[in-house]
Structure 1
Amino acid sequence: MTVALAPYSHDYFQSLPNLNTARDAFIESDGPKLVEEIFRPLFTNSGMDRHFGLAMMHRHSNLRAGQIMVTYNNTSTPWNATPGEGMDKPQPMILGLSPEGKLVPTEFRYSKGHKLEIGEKELAFAAKLMAELDKLGLRQLFGLREYPGDDFEGTCEITEGLANINLKPKDYPDGLVQTDTAWYFSETIRKRGCRCTCDNRTDPHGHGAHVITQSG
């Protein structure tokens, strides 16, 4: 199996489930066991634990055609897919595995000069991951997320409208009820328990507009 890097697809982004639908599928598939027994060894044995994390694919809102979701300075908002004059091209941060067998960027990060390396080694790893997911019938549920660095301390993401604001740990809201949405497998981050989670305190199966997600 080979995997190629595809351009951003608005249709693919719009096909992603909302957070609670993805979370329900994760629970039904015995996701925590898969993360520990299947995916953690796959990432670490492939030497990808400091390059990618495992992402549970979902979206928080709709985007119009011609828009992409870009993170800058800990806040992600819709940007024009065509960079402004003098701006670098935003680089992939989250990538899904399409039904056609392509690695498809779904969210981006902006930093001048920053570039996520996706070469032959990374595409070969994506093919391994896809093969494993196909055995489980879960290709649509999981994807890849850029590794945040060994110094990652965690963030809490609050979604307000179309903006996702990442709070620092000292600003986390009280009473978080967490649902995992991404996992990092390097020992440095695992010792600190850093991951992405969702807090949905009023209704664990709700699909409301206000969503809180946390990393760490």
Structure 2
Amino acid sequence: MAYDRTAMLNILRPAVTRVMTPLGRALARWGISPDVITAIGTLGVVASALVFYPLGHLFAGTLVITFFVLADLLDGVLARMTGKGSTWGAFLDSTLDRLSDASIFSGLILYFVLKDDPEIVLAIVALFCLVAGALVSYAKARAEGLGMTANVGIAERGERLVVVLVAAGLSGLGVPYVLAAGLWLLAAASAVTVVQRMVHVYRQAVVR
């Protein structure tokens, strides 16, 4: 479930919670599990990213993906209402978040490769963003597993999602160069965040 969201999504949470609460009450009455909502949100993101983006429908794909990303906050609302929050739910949510992120960048990679005039450089940049994003998340998880923290960095998951979705959506509306600029910016920010987290953990583990 969505218990440990990044800073950007935490900013959105109060407004989204107000909107989602009536739906959460209805789902609770129907006996829908928060884990089911987590799975549906992930499935929606994965399917949308891997269908719309490779076909070049960047704006429509971004709208649908954004809907499922925001709907993913519903699992936390439902968990609080039903009292069914669990360690398993938190693990499932974090794991499926990685799948959602990978599908978005994989869809963009396919989009660049399958174009009539393939943009291989941007496909590589998108691949770097995918890998760096995974490293950002892994660094935090591994540090916490070792009893330390790595809650630092300029490009946490919320920020990465906002940048890539806004850039893809605007590109779908015909804004030139915005997707390339967004991916290059995201690649740099993700690399910096990986270094920030490594330094932060090094200071805790070695520098006393």
Per the shorter chain, which TM-score range?
Answer: under 0.3
Structure label with greater radius of gyration: 2
**Normalized against structure 1, the TM-score is what?**
0.26
The structure that is helix-richer by fraction is 2
Greater strand fraction, Structure 1 or Structure 2: 1
TM-score using structure 2 length = 0.26
